[in-house]
Amino acid sequence: MESSTTSGGGGGGSQPPRGVGLPLVEVQAAAASLRRSEVFYVVKELLGFVLYMHHQIPAVLQNLENEFASLKEEMTEMALPPGEMKPSDQRKYNTRKREVRRRIKKQEKLMNGLSSVFSALQKALDEVPSIEGVLLILGGSLVRPLFVYDITISHGRFDAGSANERGASKLAQSVSRKAIRALISSGAGSLSYTGPTKLFVLVRCPCTLNLPLDFLPKRDFRYSKKVVPLQMCIKCNIAGIQIDNQQTTSIVDASRCTSESTISEVIWFQCKHTIRGLPCKASLEE
């Protein structure tokens, strides 16, 4: 069973201090660690949640992906020369073709951004033996964000397996559901920006790792202290024993590290791809 709780806590190191009223969000997973594909699934679901709750995408991520794939498939079919049609049917066909083309054009930049980020994240996870956390930043720039979501993984060491594995395990689905519910309970998305903005993705790893070119090192990365991050810790069981509060505090502190890292070895890597949201009132039915 996975469970989620909230508790007090403080940030440090490369992050500004946490403010009063934003408790640490904890999600517990009944596993010694999360596989690469499970980390990818959870991060993807949380990224989609952040975009949707802050009105940067017009539908939940899964529906958006399905709808866009259907539009692309329909356009491919329409590329074939139609058979003999009545004039009225030809007009309907042409009208529908223009509508499909318009909707694809409207969503294409967003969907390409999502695809690029997800592909880059999968490649990065496949290249590293461990990961300590992921940072989701909404705003016009990294240093002056509107909203910050700091997701820490308490035991992010990987065994064999790829982030690109098909399907999602029950563990990944359960952890992502618990994480999203915990964020909602903590008020995530209750305040939002009224227009489209960018989403930046960073991962926290030892600096000795050679990540793909999609990720660039950001040493001593900081953002405005005026922004209070919403911090989440996904806690895994190690040898069947829950990590205690003292360990959790040291993990959430971005200036510290796991038992296999030191403060000088752990840095942020920024994905060079960003996701730019659609206007907040956009919808697929428009």
User: Which domain CATH number covers 136?
Assistant: 3.30.900.20
231 occurs within a structural domain: yes
284 part of a folded domain: no
Give the whole-number percent of the chain exceeding pLDDT 90.
41
169-222 pLDDT tens trace: 899 999 999 999 998 888 777 776 668 899 999 999 887 767 778 999 998 888
pLDDT of residue 72: 94
**What pLDDT was estimated at residue 198?**
94
Q: Is the pLDDT of residue 2 over 60?
A: no
Does residue 95 lie in a domain region? no
pTM, whole model, 2 decimals? 0.80
Please tell me the least confidently modeled range out of 36-50, 141-155, 248-262. Answer: 248-262
Residue 168 lies in a domain: yes
CB–CB of 231/154 below 8 Å?
A: no
Assigned domain for 269 exists: yes
Question: Is position 175 within any domain?
Answer: yes
Question: Among residues 27, 35, 94, 32, which one has the least CA distance to residue 241?
Answer: 32
Strand partners of residue 138: 147, 199
Q: Please report the pLDDT score of residue 4 as a whole number.
A: 52
Q: How many structural domains are present in the chain?
A: 1
Residue 177: CB atoms within 10 A of its CB come to 15
Domain that holds residue 136: 3-62+123-276
- Does some domain include residue 204? yes
Tens digit of each residue's pLDDT (9 = 90 or more) over 139-171: 999 988 999 999 998 876 787 788 888 878 899
Residues paired with residue 24 on neighbouring β-strands, in sequence order:
7
Q: What is the mean pLDDT of residues 124-140?
A: 90
- Of 118, 125, 115, which Cα lies nearest the Cα of 153? 125
User: pLDDT band at 50, cuts 50/70/90?
Assistant: very high
